[in-house]
Chain A
Amino acid sequence: MREVAVVSFAQAKPVRRDIVHNEVEILMPVVAEAVASSGLARDRIGFTVSGSCDYLAGIPFSFVMALDGVGAWPPIEESHVEMDGAWALAEAFTRLQHGDIDSALVFGFGKSSVGELPEVLTLQLDPYLVAPLWPDSISVAALQARAMIDAGLCSERQMAEVAVRSRRDAKANPFAQLAGDFDAASLLKEPCISSPLRRHDCAPISDGASAIVLAAGDVARALCEKTGRTPAWIRGLDHRVDAQNLGVRDLTTCPSARIAAQKAGVGTAAVDVAEIYAPFTHQEILLRRELGLSASTKINPSGGVLAGNPMMAAGLIRIGEAASWIHRGDARRALAHATSGPCLQQNLVCVLEGE
């Protein structure tokens, strides 16, 4: 495999609802920053790929407007996935293996605020038998939380503590939407949104965008030399999907995350920092186990998506956040995880190492 590294990363600060800017206006400065900070001129970038979702935006072909904002002239080699930007990064990683180009721009964006997100996500479900009942995404996640509690794998208290830790850590993150000091006991007194999930157990709704520049081999080394970063080499990258129907899975497990982590080589050495995409507190507990993370790994120092969840960009942000630890020399080995679909149906794991 050809060596590929994350050489730069930028994100917009996620907000609950941006009533001033459209998706492209949120995205453009983020892309500009990622490119500028990579040290690579925009016209030298070999491949561009993005992640976004029409139903999230409420408009068909919604990704097309982004192309108009990122400079596709002269014509560029470009692609798009109807998935989080993390999977766009996987596509870019593959493309860079061919050896004819040395860099790629990856971005993800979305305004989750424009629709009623929990209802929009209902449309992911079986259109014949499940979606017509309109189970919203929070209720669907609640089923999994209930399964975990009943299996003795977590408690509402532990879930609240995940929320408390995340939002406290988020105070140090200038890109956090929700940060602050909370107390588990008080949080547990709040009413449930969809039992056993309370407001604090759920990621917020966010508008946002993120971008990453990847480079291969010596090009990555040269760029990082100039920008004073340790290159964040992608040493493992894998993604897997499980069946969707909740009734055919054991919701207290996440086989796709486990396999992806194994294939990405998570267990071969200690992981200093892990940025995990857990939109619900019980899912962090589940994923810790399935990804094989030890107690010594720092989880979600950014606050994770509980501090801000710009869908379609958030998975890419996990990779960027993990990479930033390597760039700064504050971590030698980091893990990033992204998820998609109800109850952690699809999972991507990326292992990053500094030189």
Chain B
Amino acid sequence: MARHCAVIGVGQTRHAAKRGDLSMVGLVREAALAALKDAGLDWKDVEALVIGKAPDMFEGVMQPELYLADALGAVGKPMIRVHTAGSVGGSTAIVAAHLVQSGQFSRVLTVAFEKQSESEATWAITPKIPFQPPLVAGAGGYFAPIIRAYIERSKAPADVGLLVAVKDRKNAMRNPFAHLHLPDIDIETVANSPLLWDPLHYLECCPSSDGACAMVLGDEGAAKKAPARVAWVLGTAMRSEPTMFPGRNQINPRAGRECAAAVYRQAGVTDPRKQIDTAEIYVPFSWYEPMWMENLGFADENEGWKMTLDGVTAFEGRMPVNPSGGVLSSNPIGASGMLRFAEAAMQVSGRAGEHQVDGAKVALGHAYGGGSQFFSMWMVGANRP
């Protein structure tokens, strides 16, 4: 009963620590205008909007989509604002896809952004749980202990994290939109950077970025009229599990495994290790690449690190992971999930320029958030399902 949905336009900003040249309005419009242009459309062609971003404390504006409504051409249109923590960029794209798949709309504009330079990002992200001291210092403070447990359990060599940090930044050199362009990065530089949250080095962590990502999603009719090749949505899935409960597996969360299984099923993927050409996955801290390789079924438990070590996930590897440079190279939190989804769509529609993976026909976009508890994923392909 669900109708087909295609990505007919993609746009993103040049991500940076601080886009001091743009207001929030300018930031979202830079991405939205690029997506509309890519789709060969104008504001008036958009029938509905889905906006996504993370906690509003990042900009100090409550429900900023209301303030941005006219800047995004939303006046007189339906507009929804999604917030599912770090996975929000992905969930936002999925909610937008649903509006097309339901048959309610033919063309939907979806925008995810964060202008986190406008407040103090670590403060904004650290939930100040009353009656408890703020100990967990930002996202890194939450995930570093889990990473330590993974290293212990998998007996992975210590430099796997460093390899991911270097690989993703090298990939970013091929991506003009990426925030971090570190041409001289190597293992030694990463290893010598300060240990922010032991065992994570500074250069193994994502930056804090201002940025936005936008896509125009359309139905079959809109896809036919699109000026460039489109990416077809093959499947979408979202799964959540509680933050804390006895026996919770934080390293390999069940919600992630089930989300992946659901999206593979919809996309007709029976063997992800062979049938997926490239993956854009949410790796904000280096070690999450091997961990997600396991969670997503690309590797058996405790073996994910081998994929990194063996170069399987490298740009020239069998299944390049994060050819765009990933979250490690650009992290406007609200947008990061959508960037993964958008980059996956770019790969299968030949839009990825210098970081294009040759012959990519089927790609996975992945995002996660909260205490590794919110997962959103989509599969996109060059051919209509």
Contacts and interface: CB of A to CB of B under 8 A. Distances in A.
Contacts of A143: none
Contacts of B99: 94
A81 B83 contact: yes
Interface residues on A, range: 35 or more
B270 interface: no
Contact of A77 (B69, B82, B103, B238): B238
Contacts of A248: 70
Nearest to B102: A97
A94 B98 contact: yes
Given A60-B126, A95-B98, A124-B62, 20 more contacts: A53-B62, A54-B57, A55-B62, A55-B63, A59-B127, A61-B55, A67-B240, A73-B245, A74-B254, A77-B238, A78-B238, A78-B374, A79-B91, A80-B84, A81-B81, A83-B80, A97-B103, A240-B76, A248-B70, A346-B79
A25 interface: no
A61 B370 contact: yes
Interface in B94-146: 95, 98-99, 101-104, 124-129
B240 A78 contact: yes
B98 A241 contact: no
A248 B71 CA distance: 13
A239 B76 CA distance: 9
A345 B102 contact: no
B82 A79 contact: yes
Given A121-B62, A346-B66, A77 B84 contact: no
A265 to B, nearest CB: 14
Contacts of B91: 79
Contacts of A64: 85, 243, 370-371, 373
Nearest to B255: A75
B127 A243 contact: no
B74 A72 contact: no
Nearest to B66: A341
A110 interface: no
B335 interface: no
A276 to B, nearest CB: 19
Interface stretch (A32-40, A125-133, A186-194, A278-286): A125-133
Interface string A70-96: 001111111111110001001100110
Contacts of B23: 128
A82 B242 contact: no
B76 A255 contact: yes
A256 interface: yes
19 contacts: A1-B104, A53-B62, A54-B56, A67-B242, A72-B242, A74-B258, A75-B259, A76-B241, A78-B238, A80-B82, A82-B56, A82-B63, A87-B80, A100-B2, A239-B79, A240-B77, A241-B77, A244-B69, A346-B69
A73 B79 CA distance: 31
B2 to A, nearest CB: 4
A244 B70 contact: yes
B326 to A, nearest CB: 23
B69 A345 contact: yes
B102 A241 contact: no
A79 B84 contact: yes
B63 A53 contact: yes
Interface string B33-53: 000000000000000000000
Interface of A: 1-2, 53-55, 59-61, 63-64, 67-68, 72-83, 87, 90-91, 94-95, 97-100, 120-121, 123-128, 131, 238-245, 248, 255-256, 259, 340-342, 345-346
Judged by DSSP, the binding face of B is loop
B27 to A, nearest CB: 13
Nearest to A93: B102
Given A2-B1, A91-B80, A60 B75 contact: no
A239 B78 contact: yes
Nearest to B104: A94
Contact of A341 (B63, B84, B243, B244): B63
Contacts of A87: 80-81
Given A98-B1, A239-B78, A60 B70 contact: no
A212 B82 CA distance: 19
B89 to A, nearest CB: 13
Contacts of B245: 68, 73
Given A91-B80, A127-B59, A340-B66, A75 B258 contact: yes
B61 interface: yes
A118 B259 CA distance: 40
B60 A76 contact: no
Contacts of A342: 66
Contacts of B74: 241
A81 B59 CA distance: 18
A75 B241 contact: yes
Contacts of A346: 66, 69, 79
